[in-house]
Amino acid sequence: MSDIHYAEPPAGGSQADVLEEPRVKEPPRYAVLLHNDDYTSMEFVVQILCEVFFKTMDDATSIMLKVHREGVAKCGAYTKEVAETKVRQVTLRARLAEFPLKCTMEPE
């Protein structure tokens, strides 16, 4: 059976004149968050934002300052698999650099 559905025909038209494409549901999005701590350097956070999240230097600095001032900031919103990968990348890079930077994700 086909997934193509027919819409109501326009006045004077036939059922075969109008086709509707199947609707594709967008996957849920997850926000990736960075959390402030007393040890991770601001420079390292900016570096992470540029390298992992592909932020410009200006955007990375703004997000870093928000993390510093407010305790947490959103780095981006992604599908679940991409968000999980970003969290793992940040955590691995932070541990290799001996920083306790915390990165989490939550549904939007």
The dihedrals phi and psi of 15, each to the nearest 5 degrees, come to -55, -35
The pLDDT tens digits of the residues spanning 54-106 come to 999 999 999 999 999 999 999 999 999 999 999 999 999 999 999 999 999 99
For domain 26-107, which CATH number applies: 3.30.2270.10, 3.40.1210.10, 3.30.1390.10, 3.40.720.10? 3.30.1390.10
Task: Retrieve residue 15's tokens.
Answer: 């059922």
pLDDT of 56: 98
pLDDT of 17: 56
The pLDDT tens digits of the residues spanning 16-64 come to 556 677 889 999 999 999 999 999 999 999 999 999 999 999 999 999 9
- What count of Cα atoms within 13 Å lies in the side-chain half-sphere of residue 10? 3
Taking the model in full, what pTM does it have?
0.78
- The answer to whether residue 13 scores a pLDDT higher than 60 is no
